[in-house]
A and B are shown apart, each in its own frame.
Chain A
Amino acid sequence: MHVGPAENDSIIRKALAIGATDAFRIDTEAVTADQVAFQLATFIQQHGFDIIFTGKETIDYNGAEVGGRLAAQLNLPFISFASHLEMASDNVAIIKRDMDGGTETIQVNTPFVVSAAKGMAEQRIPNMKGIMTAKSKPLNVVTPQAYSPKISIVSHELPPAKKAVQYIDPENMAELARLLREEAKVI
């Protein structure tokens, strides 16, 4: 499933090429996490899914909010930063979850929402057969619901420029120690 415009279809076809059976694209620009989660949840509510996978965060906004919002709107459990998932039975999953300074192993019944962290799966590369069959798999375009985003991006800026690096003679670590204490004041 994807929220985005038609030019993203080629990426969706890659998902079909590596094993997805069909695809749905909600035809609107992804603007904010709350908007994306709303569009997805509203659509998902009309269909039944056992497990809903999301990424841990997007590489542009780095928000990690869609999964939680999706789970809340669908009233489903949400397991974030899952680095391993296996099904113990048809409707019971055992999931390893990354947390600060360790991992947690939990058990949950379907349906649920899970955000995937590194380690969850091996990346698949589409092969020729996959690419060919992807062309005939359904990529359904869905009309979005009306929605007003709850946040607005007002401006972008670059972070302050950094000073050039100060090199220290590898033989003189006393000098580095001194600088860290007296100049940088971090030790």
Chain B
Amino acid sequence: MVLVFVETENGKVRKASLEAVYYGYLTAQKLGTSCQALLLGNAEDATSLGLYGATLVHLNDSLGFNSFDNHVYSDAIAQAAKKLEASVVVLSHSSNGKSLIGNIAYLLDAGSVSAAIGIPETNNGFFVRKGVYSSKALVNIEIITPLKVVSVLGNSLQINIVGSNAEIQPLNLDVLQPRIKVLSVDKLQSNVTPLPEAERVVSGGRGLKGPENWGIVEELADVLHATTACSRPVSDADWRPHHEHVGQTGIAIRPNLYIAIGISGAIQHLAGVNNSKTIVVINKDPEAPFFKAANYGVVGDLFEVVPRLTAAIKSLNQ
């Protein structure tokens, strides 16, 4: 059985977890087994997990899961995997997922692969592919233990509806005492899609010259229903919040559309975004290295080009 750990946000299932469920479903199909979901906490749309392939949702809404504690969660997930006799545990490569995978895998004595970019090959073994060297290369990894743990890089799969509403079953678990205390949380407003889940991203760099000029970036993002991001120098200068920083020392994302405005395209930045399906680069410097990695390039003054693009998209939508 393939068990998918599902995360929630504001009482609903996170989009990244829908992808993880679909990944689990496709993997279960290949292994000739079922895909089931594990939810720690509660979500008003838990039954919708069935649409993406989970035949059963195991739920434990103990108060001990109200805030994230890596130790508490990984123990619960490993316990559930053993109790339900899962052979594969899938989770999304979200910030909590990255925290959990090593811990869960150790508790299950399992081999693990993080940030998988495709579903496993299951002929003569269990093989998972992932990017390495910040996605400049790919590796094919065999997990050689009987139990396996995989985290799925966000936006790696196009999800499809393959089933109907799932049945929810309560699952008894021993919940550990927390060993951390959350003092405060400083988050985006709930209507903004977090970067790892965003399908469209509009990103700004030093070419914008200052935080006061970010209006044009935000307007373009608005009209595209995109999430905003930035390069490292912008984040270091505190022009934009740190969680917007994409790159080797920030986060790596894989959106369908990445629009880079006033960003030269240094290798460390590319490392965070070169897996994007379509890259648009807007820069006044024709020698900017980013153009080599772009699908579409515009050499021009971003202060004119960006508002023009925003207007053009508005027209297209009318």
Contact = CB atoms under 8 A, between A and B. Distances in A.
Interface stretch (A16-24, A45-53, A149-157): A149-157
Interface residues of B, number: 93
B162 interface: no
B71 A151 contact: no
A184 B257 contact: yes
Contacts of A80: 70, 95, 98-99
A106 B70 CA distance: 12
A61 B132 contact: yes
B115 to A, nearest CB: 7
Looking at chain B's contact residues, the main secondary structure is mixed
Contacts of B237: none
Interface stretch (A1-9, A92-100, A135-143): A92-100
A109 B300 contact: no
A62 interface: yes
B111 A102 contact: no
B105 interface: yes
Interface residues of A, number: 71
Interface string A141-179: 000000001111111111100110111101101101111
A156 B132 CA distance: 9
B292 interface: yes
Interface in B169-219: 179-188, 192, 194-197, 199-200
A131 B299 CA distance: 48
Interface in B281-318: 281, 291-301, 304-305, 308-309, 311-313, 315-316
Nearest to A170: B300
Nearest to A94: B183
B168 interface: no
Interface of A: 33-34, 37, 59-73, 77-81, 83, 94, 98-109, 112, 117-119, 149-159, 162-163, 165-168, 170-171, 173-174, 176-181, 184, 186-187
